[in-house]
Amino acid sequence: MSYSIVVRTGGVYGGLVVPRVRPSFKVSNSELIEFLRDRLRDREGTERPLATVYVPDPAGNYNVLVSYEYPGPDDVPTGDVLIRVPKGVYARFRPNGDYHDPAEDVWAQVDDATASAEITRAYREEIEIWTGPAELELFISILV
């Protein structure tokens, strides 16, 4: 397991939403999430990093936004769901090769780091950044 502690600046994300999920590699690899990623790629027509943003609601559930990051709210396409993720402290995980699937790899590292009390999750926004089919960074909000 390897991770680093980073401060991420805030960002504006716009895209397509799936309500009431539990952050995990199973969600990240689900057919519905893959379908939404494909729709965004088809619509955009260019290769740029895709984000999967897990956003908690007041009831303790998460909604996931399959999205792109935009410079500002006015740049988000009409009809897309828009969220603003505030600046925060995150544990950044990258695949280390323990699993063939990059999403399963990083989420397993999160489980290990949480179970061993190396990190304490804040249960705020959590962000997967996909820069390629197997190139992934996972940012887990943490308490410091």
At 115, the pLDDT band (50, 70, 90 cuts) reads very high
Q: Which pLDDT score is estimated for 69?
A: 97
Please give the Cα distance from 99 to 130 (Å, whole number).
Answer: 17
Q: Which pLDDT score is estimated for 1?
A: 77
Mean pLDDT for 126-141 is 94
Q: Which residue has the tokens 């790629």?
A: 41
Angle CA(21)–CA(39)–CA(52) in degrees, nearest 5? Answer: 35
82: amino acid identity, one letter: L
Per residue in 19-50, pLDDT tens?
999 999 999 999 999 999 999 999 877 789 99
- Residue 53 has which token pair? 């943003």
Domains identified in the chain and CATH numbers: 3-141 (3.20.80.10)
Mean pLDDT for 91-113 is 96
Q: Which pTM value belongs to this model?
A: 0.94
88 neighbors 124 (Cβ within 8 angstroms): yes
